[in-house]
């Protein structure tokens, strides 16, 4: 009886570990295709930049660099997850199919480093279709790798007083250099929903 009980505990712990691992997303060669570089040029802005996959020792990461300009009503460059209703990136499939109530997810952790500037995480749901409608949280990216923890309860909605972010409806996730004239240099090694 004790052996069966120990086995059941081991299975339960293994399943919990698998579920948590399913919500951890390293930036790697085989996952970079789930991400795109986007700038304000899609709406007539003049910001310049790009995103690249790089490696530093054993750490692989995406690096977003460029010059953000607010001229011509612009002001952003970003690394954004691909958006698709029918071919969702694994990240969103895992969130939506993790067998958890979306409300139980508390936030997102990023492993980042940068040039000391303030950056944004911008999230859109299936109910945010306007480019100016999103949920956001800011963070500082310093020179050394660190984990930034962003609770979903602290995300704010850009064009509304509504602050409830329905995690089960996430369709798009972006790391964004935004809102003022500055030089962007931020690296993202992983993100994890917790």
CA 194-156-120 angle, 5° bins: 75
Alpha carbons 105 and 122: distance in angstroms, whole number: 17
The total domain count for the chain is 1
**What is the pTM (predicted TM-score) of this model?**
0.83
Domain membership flag for residue 72? yes
CATH number of the structural domain spanning residue 50:
2.60.120.430
Domain-embedded: residue 163:
yes
Beta pairing, strands 118-125 & 35-39: unpaired
Q: Which residues contact 158 (CB under 8 A, 6 or more apart)?
A: 132, 133, 134, 135, 136
Q: What is the pLDDT of residues 10-65, one digit of tens each?
A: 333 333 333 445 789 999 999 998 899 999 999 999 999 999 999 999 999 999 99
- For residue 10, being part of any structural domain is answered with no
Vertex 119 angle, CA 117 and 122, to 5°: 175
State pLDDT tens for residues 64-100: 999 999 999 999 999 999 876 666 677 777 776 654 5
**Residue 68 belongs to a domain:** yes
Residue 121 lies in a domain: yes
Q: What is the pLDDT of residues 138-149, one digit of tens each?
A: 999 999 999 999
- Residue 42, in any domain of the structure: yes
What is the C-alpha to C-alpha distance for residues 7 and 82, in angstroms, rounded to an integer?
Answer: 40
Residue 17 lies in a domain: no
**Structural domain containing residue 65:** 25-193
In a domain, 113, yes or no: yes
């Amino acid at each position: 009886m004790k052996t069966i009980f120990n086995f059941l505990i081991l299975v339960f712990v293994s399943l919990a570990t698998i579920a948590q691992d399913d919500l951890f997303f390293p930036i790697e060669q085989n996952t970079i295709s789930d991400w795109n570089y986007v700038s304000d040029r899609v709406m007539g802005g003049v910001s310049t930049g790009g995103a690249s996959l790089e490696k530093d020792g054993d750490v692989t990461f995406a690096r977003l660099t460029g010059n953000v300009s607010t001229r011509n009503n612009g002001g952003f460059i970003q690394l954004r997850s691909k958006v698709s209703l029918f071919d969702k990136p694994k990240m969103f499939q895992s969130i939506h199919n993790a067998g958890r109530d979306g409300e139980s997810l508390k936030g997102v952790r990023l492993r980042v480093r940068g040039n000391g500037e303030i950056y944004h995480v911008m999230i859109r749901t299936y109910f945010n279709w306007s480019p100016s409608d999103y949920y956001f949280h800011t963070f500082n990216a310093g020179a050394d790798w660190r984990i930034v923890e962003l609770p979903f309860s602290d995300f704010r909605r850009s064009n509304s007083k509504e602050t409830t972010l329905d995690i089960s409806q996430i369709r798009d996730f972006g790391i964004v250099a935004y809102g003022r004239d500055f030089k962007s240099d931020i690296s993202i090694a992983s993100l994890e929903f917790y």
